[in-house]
Amino acid sequence: MQLPLQITVRDIPQSPALEALIREKAAKLDTMHSRITSCRVVVASEGKHRSQGRAIAVSVDLRIPDHEIVVTREHHEDAYVAVREAFDDAGRQLQALVKRERDAAKHRA
């Protein structure tokens, strides 16, 4: 990544384990595409739901030249699951982008 990873945690206690998980997942995305310019991750509590408890929302914003991938996932009470699901989805979108770029390069040649 050209810019350092930005992690924002709102309305939940910040944990070193959660930050380590986010850094690990971001490093994995960085190996998938060499031109990622920035990655922003926001982990926030979405308030208290009356019957289901507190929802945790995770937003991942990846920027690549000429592209932006934004993923938001919610999970009830488990930030780790929400982080994993958001990064898995971002990884799938990034793989699809890489495949489209490869296919376009083949057709130009």
Q: What is the pLDDT of residue 101?
A: 84
Q: Quick one: residue 17, left, alpha or beta (phi over 0 = left, psi -120 to 50 = alpha)?
A: alpha
- Whole-model pTM: value is 0.86
Does residue 85 lie within any of the structural domains? yes
DSSP state of 11: S
Does residue 67 lie within any of the structural domains? yes
Q: What is the pLDDT of residue 84?
A: 93
Higher-pLDDT residue of 3 and 47 is: 3
CATH of the domain at 54: 3.30.160.100
What are 79-107's pLDDT values in tens digits?
A: 899 999 999 999 999 999 989 888 877 77
CA angle 38, 40, 45 (to 5 degrees): 175
Does residue 1 lie within any of the structural domains? no
**pLDDT of 76 strictly over 80:** no
Total domains in the chain come to 1
What are 6-64's pLDDT values in tens digits?
A: 999 998 888 999 999 999 999 999 998 888 999 999 999 876 655 566 789 999 999 99
End-to-end C-alpha distance for the chain, whole angstroms: 28
